[in-house]
Structure 1
């Protein structure tokens, strides 16, 4: 097999072990401390911010506009609604205003 296939397989195994490891560790506790639960609930927002904020600052006005739109929208609607609305707006802006 090529090196690329081995890298993909290693990344898949590493991802699986990371996910199942967290589940196995937390399943040993009867109750999870409220601070741990709050930190785990904040992880999706932190990951989305890390994924979206860096490209938004490196690219043009469309991405920055969508980032501001999502920040304002997140004050009123759920995270999934905000995410889909932001993605739809970004797709529309990239379609109608190509670089």
Structure 2
């Protein structure tokens, strides 16, 4: 039987940015990142494949050499080790999926 409910704390990851793991398994993790207006997700990279879904807000994303503005309903995939980050043009929430799980978030 699947593990359906597990409570994870909300963690502050930067000025105006919080992270909350929503669900996880060794193969996959779902995480909500909440941003206040003008908050920044610093440029970084990691070995995990990441899929991002914009639940609310407007964000300017840098992914590799590309820069794009994303809005609610937009989604995209960030390949392993590609440098990426964002700025919240409007306050909002991003839902990120990582494969495999980000053990550093637990």
- For Structure 1 versus Structure 2, the TM-score category normalised by the shorter chain is under 0.3
TM-score (norm 1): 0.23
TM-score (norm 2): 0.22
Instruction: Write 1 or 2 for the structure with the bigger share of strand.
Output: 2
Instruction: Write 1 or 2 for the structure with the bigger share of helix.
Output: 1
Kindly name which structure, 1 or 2, has the bigger radius of gyration based on alpha carbons: 1
